[in-house]
Amino acid sequence: MAYDMEASVHEALKYPQRIRLTAWDGALQAHRKHDSFRVQTYPYSLEYGFTCQCSGVEEEHRIWIGELKQMVPAAMASVKRIFGFGPKAGDRLRKQLHTRAYSRARALLHRHLTREQRIELRGTRGFHMKDRDGRTYHLTEGSCTNVYIEHEGTEYSLCVVPKEYGLPIPDIMLAQKIMLETDPEAFLRLAHVRNLATDEVYETGGFFLEEEPRPVLKLARVLVGLTPEQVENPREWVEGRLGVGSTEETVERVETRDV
C-alpha cells in the first residue's frame, strides 16, 4: 500500500486537537459555576469560548470550531518546506558538518563526566548527577524536558533550553550539567516543571526551594471522549458543552451587512 502523506498529516493533526479540546473542557468545568462566568462567541474568527473573573482579572478561553480539513493544505505546505522531496544541493555537506559538530560536542561532554557517568551514558543514554546542594538529577539525551528529579516521593521533569536553535544535544546536556553544578537555584527558578504523576505543569521550579508553587495547566491523562468525526469538526460538541446555538447565521448576517 502506497504511503499517503496527506492522510498521515491529517491524522496527526487530530491528536493535538483532542489535547486542546481536553484542556479547554477542563477549564470550562473549573469555571462554569463561578458567578463571573460568561459564555462568549466570536463569529468573525469562528470561535467559541468563555470568560471568568474569579482570579480578579478577566481570563478568556477560546476554542476554534473550524474543521481540521482546512488545516491540511497549510500543514502540507509546511511539511514540504521543512523536508522537501528528494535530495537537495548541499545535503551531503550539511550532514558531514552536523556529524562533525555532534562528535565534538559529545567528546566535550564526556570530558566533563566521571568514568561512572560515561559508562551510564553509553548504556542508558543518560546519567545521574548531584548539584552543590545534594539534589540528585537524571539527565537524559534530549533538548527539552530531559532533566528529571524526585521530590517528596514524586518525579518531575524539568525543561531549560537555550535560546539558540539547533545546538547539538550533548552541548545542551553539558550546559544543563554545568548550570546545575554552579547555580542550581537559578536553574530551578528558570525551569518549566511537569509533575509526571498528575500532568500538572508549573511555570517555575521555585517550589523545590520552598517557594509557593505556581501551576500553569493541568491536562487530564484521559482525553475527552470524542469520535474521530467530532475531533475533526468539534462545532456541535462545543455548542453542546456551552449550551449555545450555531454562529453560522451570525456570520452570514454580518457578511451580508458589510457588502
Tens-digit pLDDT profile for residues 12-62: 888 888 888 888 888 898 898 999 999 988 887 888 999 999 888 888 988
Residue 150 falls inside a structural domain:
yes
Q: Rounded to two decimals, what is the model's pTM?
A: 0.59
Q: Are residues 158 and 120 in the same domain?
A: yes
Give the pLDDT score at 252.
43
- Rounded to 5°, angle at Cα 222 from 219 and 223: 75
Task: Reply yes or no on whether the pLDDT at 136 is more than 90.
Answer: yes
Q: Are residues 98 and 159 in the same domain?
A: yes
Nearest alpha carbon to residue 237 among 224, 249, 248:
224
- With a CB cutoff of 8 Å and minimum separation 6, the contacts of 210 are none
Q: Is residue 219 within 8 Å of 23, Cβ to Cβ?
A: yes
User: Beta strands of the chain (E only): which ranges?
Assistant: 38-42, 47-52, 59-64, 126-130, 136-140, 147-151, 154-159, 192-195, 200-202, 215-218
Between 64-73, 158-167, 191-200, the lowest mean confidence (pLDDT) is in 64-73
Q: Is residue 81 within 8 Å of 64, Cβ to Cβ?
A: no
Give the pLDDT score at 229.
86
Give the pLDDT score at 83.
67
Q: Are residues 99 and 60 in the same domain?
A: no
Total structural domains in the chain? 2
Residue 130 falls inside a structural domain:
yes
Amino acid identity at 117: Q
The range of the structural domain enclosing residue 31 comes to: 5-66+234-258
- Rounded to 5°, angle at Cα 170 from 138 and 204: 50
Q: Looking at residue 59, what DSSP letter applies?
A: E
Q: Are residues 245 and 210 in the same domain?
A: no
Residue 76 falls inside a structural domain:
no
- How do residues 182-229 score in pLDDT, each as one tens digit? 999 999 999 989 998 888 888 889 899 888 877 766 555 678 888 888
Task: Reply yes or no on whether the pLDDT at 254 is more than 80.
Answer: no
Amino acid identity at 8: S
Residue 248 falls inside a structural domain:
yes
Residue 97 falls inside a structural domain:
yes
Task: Reply yes or no on whether the pLDDT at 113 is more than 50.
Answer: yes
- How do residues 75-95 score in pLDDT, each as one tens digit? 777 777 766 666 677 778 888
Residue 226 falls inside a structural domain:
no
Q: Are residues 21 and 140 in the same domain?
A: no
Q: How many CB atoms lie within 10 A of CB 206?
A: 18
- How do residues 224-248 score in pLDDT, each as one tens digit? 888 888 888 898 999 999 988 765 5
How much of the chain, in percent, has pLDDT values that exceed 70? 88
- With a CB cutoff of 8 Å and minimum separation 6, the contacts of 125 are 140, 141
Nearest alpha carbon to residue 132 among 193, 186, 62:
186
